[in-house]
Structure 1
């Protein structure tokens, strides 16, 4: 019979999330992880595998626990409401924790070297999935008349993602939530509208 695990896996994973969020992937050593989680290296290896596997678990937990507002935002009635929710929730999240600002995915990938290409690829793939979901939502908005027929849904999705990611970098550099929300307002000020009642404007 195997030895019973003597630590809370979820608590250890949450600690790893915060550490990767603050320092990025390459800025975290196994010594850092053992100190942050309070778990010795053999037990961490047993529970999570190597550092790359632990980061992937941490990234999945980050998306599940901290970006849970994204699926809800995609269900809002208009494309502008979708974008507004995404931008303002991102501004709040990026500045919520003074000791780990920004975005775990962005922080984790910006300084990756060639040796950590799989990690950079994993983060890029995760962001790409989000961009696809956003593009599909905008395509539906276009069909509903909420966006104009001339709207480039792929470009709009890329634009929103660029703003969100830029806000994450700015938060990491010390920008306040108020400033990030001002950036969000600026981005929203040019949002295109269609001719349906969904847009809230007369045709």
Structure 2
């Protein structure tokens, strides 16, 4: 391949997919601000110049890692929203969330909650990205609940915005409890309690 000075450089010979997976898991575990370049080079098995050449700077790498997370790990909510009835949708949201949080091989929390914690100016773009994803997730939930309203499954007395925020808050709470060390059995009991209050 050609480099910027017109000379032929060495082509990328490492597994970009595996390297990005490693970066995603590290950002997921430590958040944007808690992940340094030294840790990334160790996890990805690459030197800094190779990372920059293949993925860009830390912000660009974080965005790619988040995109990978959303496309490969975070489909459990989307699948739940495709259930045919409101009751099945709500139950699947809880069941799928608990299953996701307790699946071995990744941190026991949601990356969109844990991935951008921190207060520095440097972390602001990462926080904004995570906030926007969470908002988009709530929009998708609201749209599904509006469908339930139209079909008569959700009472007109229920404020759809409030209903969406309520469910989103409980689901996020499960992620926090999982990160705190709650077991799968404990999360299931919490989910069942919420479902009983929701009438599902």
TM, length-normalised to structure 1: 0.89
Give 1:113 shift.
2.6
1:197 corresponding residue in structure 2: none
2:20 corresponding residue in structure 1: 13
Select the residue among 140, 153, 159 that pairs with 1:146.
153
Select the residue among 124, 135, 138 that pairs with 2:142.
135
Provide the rounded CA distance (Å) in 2 between the counterparts of 1:153 and 1:23.
34
Provide the rounded CA distance (Å) in 1 between the counterparts of 2:192 and 2:64.
34
Provide the rounded CA distance (Å) in 1 between the counterparts of 2:22 and 2:105.
15
Conserved 8 A contact 1:74-1:134:
yes
Alignment of 1:43-62 (within 5 A): 43-62=50-69
Select the residue among 126, 130, 133 that pairs with 1:119.
126
Pair 1:166 & 2:173 matched: yes
Conserved 8 A contact 1:17-1:61:
yes
**Alpha carbon RMSD of aligned pairs, Å?**
1.6
Conserved 8 A contact 2:102-2:184:
yes
Provide the rounded CA distance (Å) in 2 between the counterparts of 1:163 and 1:88.
13
Alignment of 1:174-189 (within 5 A): 174-189=181-196
1:71 corresponding residue in structure 2: 78
Conserved 8 A contact 2:81-2:144:
yes
Provide the rounded CA distance (Å) in 2 between the counterparts of 1:78 and 1:188.
15
Q: Which secondary structure does the structure 1 equivalent of 2:152 belong to?
A: coil
What runs of 5+ residues in structure 1 fail to find an aligned partner?
Answer: 194-203
| 1:116-149 alpha-carbon deviations (Å, 9 max, x no partner) | 1111110000010010010011011011011111
Q: Describe the shift of the 1:24–1:97 C-alpha distance in structure 2 as closer, same or farther (beyond 3 A).
A: farther
1:35 corresponding residue in structure 2: 42
Conserved 8 A contact 1:21-1:101:
no
List 4+ stretches of structure 1 deviating above 3 A. Answer: none
What runs of 5+ residues in structure 2 fail to find an aligned partner?
Answer: 3-9
How many residues get paired?
Answer: 193
Give 1:69 shift.
2.3
Moved more, 164-173 or 121-130: 164-173
Provide the rounded CA distance (Å) in 1 between the counterparts of 2:75 and 2:116.
21
